Amino acid sequence: METETNLSAEEIRSNLQCVEQRIAAASARAGRRPDDVTLVAVSKTKPAEDVAFALAAGQRHFGENYVQELNEKIRIFEERPEAEGVHWHMIGHLQRNKVKYLVGRVSLIHSVDTVALAEQIEKESAKKGVVTEILLEINVAGEESKWGFSMEEAKDAAGAVKALPHVRLIGLMTSAPYTEDPESNRGYFRALKALSDGLYAEGLIVPSGNGFRTPALSMGMTGDFEVAVEEGATMVRVGTAVFGARNYADQKVIQ
Ligand SMILES: *Cc1c(COP(=O)(O)O)cnc(C)c1O
């Protein structure tokens, strides 16, 4: 079992630097520019203090997978000058009745896995007079245990989202299978890139109004982010390699 590690400010700073360097090297191997890839530091289960350390090191994009924990962290950093320009990303499974707590507060919802959820985001966004940017979550490997549309369902789902005036589909997201061998996910990443390029060409994925590179492709975690970057990721979601191992038992907030 993994044990929780509480890293120092210096360790978090050096981890961020190391992950950015690995992103840059993977970008170079693929002939891409390193600033085409946004590092989303996944701070779930970690204390706000760790987020503060990352902010001090210049990190500006943070991912969380539980609505309540995300909102607590947003609240903590809301008025703090050192958090100027921070972007919060919802990356976990989202229930429709929680949508109202996120709309207007997060920069991007990565994990839209049903059309009904997109419709709920539409409803809340219209109420607040905002446009919410989203990704469709794709279950690339068809894993039973995972949320998301199948590759085949993606186009119809994107078409349905296109009809929602307060929801903007800017790309796709996946969590590839957990593996010891990141190479085994290369084919999935490549297939998702092809799918997103196709939907973009058809106008079903549209340019971001929040400055995100489009079509946005959110793929790659601690175990496989370099392969994901080589295959076209524009956002990688990295937790463990930045903040250390997580201990879910210590998590105070579950939903
Ligand atoms: C936890 C999580 C991550 C980060 O995982 P690590 O392996 O710690 O980098 C990325 N994406 C999602 C959706 C997650 O829930």
DSSP code for 229? H
Model pLDDT, residue 6: 83
Model pLDDT, residue 249: 63
pLDDT at residue 5 is higher than 80: no
Q: What percent of the chain has pLDDT over 70?
A: 95
pLDDT at residue 244 is higher than 70: yes
Residues with CB under 6 A from ligand 1: 42, 44, 65, 91-92, 175, 221-223, 237-240
Model pLDDT, residue 247: 81
Ligand 1 atom closest to the CA of 221, numbered from 1: 9
Question: For residue 147, how far is its CA from the centre of ligand 1 (angstroms)?
Answer: 14
Ligand 1 atom closest to the CA of 240, numbered from 1: 8
Which of the listed residues 46, 91, 217, 225 should we mutate to test ligand 1's pocket, taking the one with most ligand atoms within 8 A of CB? 91
Question: For residue 145, how far is its CA from the centre of ligand 1 (angstroms)?
Answer: 15
pLDDT at residue 252 is higher than 90: no
Model pLDDT, residue 13: 98
Question: For residue 173, how far is its CA from the centre of ligand 1 (angstroms)?
Answer: 12
Question: For residue 103, how far is its CA from the centre of ligand 1 (angstroms)?
Answer: 22
End-to-end CA distance of the chain: 23
HEC string for 108-153: EEEEECCHHHHHHHHHHHHHHCCCEEEEEEECCCCCCCCCCECCCC
Ligand 1 atom closest to the CA of 44, numbered from 1: 1
Model pLDDT, residue 255: 38
Q: From the centroid of its chain, how far is CA 74?
A: 16
Other Cβ atoms less than 10 A from the Cβ of 108: the count is 28
Averaged over 163-188, what is the pLDDT?
Answer: 97
pLDDT digits (tens, 9 = 90+) for 30-82: 999 989 999 999 999 999 999 999 999 999 999 999 999 999 999 999 989 99
Question: For residue 153, how far is its CA from the centre of ligand 1 (angstroms)?
Answer: 24
Residues 6+ apart with CB under 8 A from 99: 117, 120, 121, 123, 124
Give the chain's domains with CATH numbers: 9-242 (3.20.20.10)
Averaged over 222-245, what is the pLDDT?
Answer: 98
Residues 6+ apart with CB under 8 A from 232: 30, 32, 189, 190, 193, 217
Averaged over 150-167, what is the pLDDT?
Answer: 98
Ligand 1 atom closest to the CA of 243, numbered from 1: 8
Ligand 1 atom closest to the CA of 225, numbered from 1: 9
Model pLDDT, residue 248: 73
Question: For residue 240, how far is its CA from the centre of ligand 1 (angstroms)?
Answer: 8
What average pLDDT is seen over the chain? 95
Question: For residue 165, how far is its CA from the centre of ligand 1 (angstroms)?
Answer: 30
pLDDT at residue 253 is higher than 60: no
